């Protein structure tokens, strides 16, 4: 029987367990410049016992930024900052992938070059969503402007350059963020993509730009060092599609053709349900792993609302190959050891998730 603590062959990497650190936005890069620094290196190195780490989402350009304090991978200073992080993780015998990100409409003009409007497939705002201005003030989402066709190639190039920078920074691989209502997901789903040109309408058209991005990244890294994150049925950032099963089956067919390393798929969940301090799966939502796992030929990583018990169950039943943990990895830097020894977990502190310094970031206790 497969165990959560069993090793897993991840392309040419053999990882020590199936406990993955999920990408977690923490808004603690050095300012000005959105540069990773020593504090971030300490944080990731503390968690190097994960099977592998997927970094917080990292903007591929200034236009791609949506929140203050999030790191980039498009300047020399950012590349050098990430080198501090990868060196620190590798010294602890860890593995780390960079998540490549463009937020699209989930931004504010204060983050944009020259104060421009955020960009999107269509000029449709994300209802009931919000972000922060560059000076950390909560703000409603603006109505974005629709990308011109000639701008799409430029964003593909931004992803390609970011992938090259990630290689220079010493990462073991990259993950293309096609989930959570950010730009590539906005193109995939017909609730946000109302284009009438070659990048809108049919599934084949809507997937065209995300696949151009993926192909550009694969050209830099090769397919066996590239993963993709997807969120079928995710409602975050006002996302919806008229036929998610057809859409994401088609997406997985295309990923199979490219023989990418893994797909990282998010289970729908109700965050902080009922005002409690727990994140639980939405029982009325379909299971994405049950719906889509058999469709994908590579490594299948699942994330979203897992506790240790049900993570062990889905791995032992071979429903998934590995599970990505978020919040409990924040508060338990030695999570694999705690699972191995069946030790109590530290509770996380929501009020320290975003922004700040060491508190709630690098000060969670390890086992004695």
The answer to whether the CB of 119 falls within 8 A of the CB of 105 is: yes
Do the strands 19-21 and 322-325 form a parallel or antiparallel pair, or are they unpaired? parallel
Q: Which residue has the tokens 């995939």?
A: 188
User: What pLDDT does 150 receive?
Assistant: 97
- Per residue in 283-294, pLDDT tens? 667 789 999 999
Nearest CA to 293 out of 273, 318, 269 is that of 318
How long a stretch of residues is the chain?
368
> Residues near 114 by Cβ (< 8 Å), separated by ≥ 6?
none
Task: Give the three-class secondary structure for 235.
Answer: coil
If you write DSSP's letter for every residue of 155-191 in order, what string do you get?
HHHHHHHHHHHHHHTT-SEEEEE--TTSHHHHHHSTT
Phi/psi of residue 218, nearest 5 degrees: -60, -35
| pLDDT at 335 exceeding the cut of 50 | yes
If you write DSSP's letter for every residue of 277-311 in order, what string do you get?
S--EE-TTS--HHHHHGGG--SEEEEESS--HHHH
How many whole angstroms separate alpha carbon 141 and alpha carbon 129?
A: 6
User: What pLDDT does 280 receive?
Assistant: 52
> Residues near 317 by Cβ (< 8 Å), separated by ≥ 6?
none
Least confident span in 112-116, 142-146, 154-158, 279-283: 279-283
Catalytic (active-site) positions: 182
Q: How confident is the model at residue 305 (pLDDT cuts 50, 70, 90)?
A: confident
How many whole angstroms separate alpha carbon 285 and alpha carbon 289?
A: 12
| pLDDT at 192 exceeding the cut of 80 | yes
User: What pLDDT does 274 receive?
Assistant: 34
The strand pairing partners of 67, in sequence order, are: none
Please report, rounded to a whole number, the percentage of residues in the chain having pLDDT higher than 70. 96
Task: Please give the average per-residue pLDDT across 36-46, as a whole number.
Answer: 98
Least confident span in 82-96, 125-139, 176-190, 352-366: 125-139
Phi/psi of residue 329, nearest 5 degrees: -80, -25
User: What pLDDT does 273 receive?
Assistant: 34
Please report, rounded to a whole number, the percentage of residues in the chain having pLDDT higher than 90. 91
User: What pLDDT does 52 receive?
Assistant: 98
Task: Please give the average per-residue pLDDT across 60-67, as a whole number.
Answer: 98
| pLDDT at 269 exceeding the cut of 70 | no
- Per residue in 212-259, pLDDT tens? 999 999 999 999 999 999 999 888 999 999 999 999 999 999 999 999
Torsion sign, CA atoms 200, 204, 209, 210: positive
| pLDDT at 272 exceeding the cut of 60 | no
Backbone dihedral region of 238: left (phi > 0), alpha (psi from -120 to 50 degrees) or beta?
left
Quick one: 113 exposed, middle or buried, by C-beta within 10 A (0-12, 13-18, 19+)? exposed
Measured from the Cβ of residue 10, the count of other Cβ atoms closer than 10 Å reads 26
| pLDDT at 268 exceeding the cut of 90 | no
All domains of the chain in start order, with CATH: 8-352 (3.20.20.70)
How many whole angstroms separate alpha carbon 326 and alpha carbon 306?
A: 9
Q: Which residue has the tokens 């350059």?
A: 161
Nearest CA to 220 out of 162, 179, 152, 151 is that of 162
User: What pLDDT does 283 receive?
Assistant: 61
Phi/psi of residue 149, nearest 5 degrees: -55, -40
Catalogue the E-assigned strands of the chain: 8-10, 13-15, 19-21, 53-59, 96-101, 119-120, 130-132, 138-140, 145-146, 173-177, 226-230, 262-266, 269-270, 280-281, 299-303, 322-325
Give the mean pLDDT of the chain. 95
User: What pLDDT does 286 receive?
Assistant: 79
Quick one: 93 exposed, middle or buried, by C-beta within 10 A (0-12, 13-18, 19+)? exposed
The answer to whether the CB of 165 falls within 8 A of the CB of 79 is: yes
Cα separations in angstroms, 350 against 40, 207, 231, 325, 355: 18, 35, 23, 15, 11
User: What pLDDT does 17 receive?
Assistant: 98
Nearest CA to 184 out of 164, 212, 145 is that of 212
């Amino acid at each position: 029987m497969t165990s959560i603590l069993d090793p897993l062959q991840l392309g040419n990497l053999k990882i020590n367990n199936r406990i993955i650190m999920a990408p977690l936005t923490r808004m603690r890069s050095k300012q000005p410049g959105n540069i990773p620094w020593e504090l971030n290196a300490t944080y990731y190195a503390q968690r190097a016992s994960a099977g592998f780490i997927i970094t917080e989402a990292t903007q591929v350009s200034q236009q791609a930024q949506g929140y203050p304090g999030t790191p980039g991978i498009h300047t020399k200073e950012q590349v050098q900052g990430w080198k501090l992080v990868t060196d620190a993780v590798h010294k602890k015998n860890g593995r780390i992938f960079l998540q490549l990100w463009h937020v699209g409409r989930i931004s504010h003009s204060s983050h944009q070059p020259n104060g421009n409007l955020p960009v999107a497939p269509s000029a449709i705002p994300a209802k009931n969503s919000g972000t922060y201005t560059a000076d950390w003030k909560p703000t409603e989402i603006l109505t974005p402007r629709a990308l011109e066709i000639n701008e799409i190639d430029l964003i593909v190039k931004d992803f390609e350059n970011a992938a090259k920078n990630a290689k220079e920074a010493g990462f073991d691989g990259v993950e293309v963020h096609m989930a959570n209502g950010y730009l590539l997901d906005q193109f995939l789903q017909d609730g946000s993509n109302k284009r009438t040109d070659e990048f809108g309408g049919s599934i084949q058209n809507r997937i065209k730009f995300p696949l151009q991005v993926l192909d550009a990244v694969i050209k830099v890294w090769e397919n066996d060092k590239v993963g993709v994150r997807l969120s079928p049925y995710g409602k975050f950032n006002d996302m919806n599609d008229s036929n998610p099963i057809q859409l994401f089956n088609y997406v997985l067919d295309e990923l199979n053709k490219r023989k990418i390393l893994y797909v990282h798929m998010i289970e729908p969940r109700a965050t902080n349900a009922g005002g409690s301090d727990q994140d639980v799966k939405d029982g009325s939502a379909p299971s994405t792993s049950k719906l889509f796992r058999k469709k994908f030929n590579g490594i299948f990583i699942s994330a979203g609302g897992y506790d240790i018990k049900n993570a062990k169950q889905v791995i032992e039943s071979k429903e998934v190959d590995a599970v990505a943990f978020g919040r409990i990895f924040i508060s338990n830097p030695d999570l694999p050891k705690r699972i191995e020894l069946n030790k109590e977990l530290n509770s996380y502190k929501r009020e320290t998730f975003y922004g700040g310094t060491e508190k709630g970031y690098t000060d969670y206790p390890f086992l004695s």
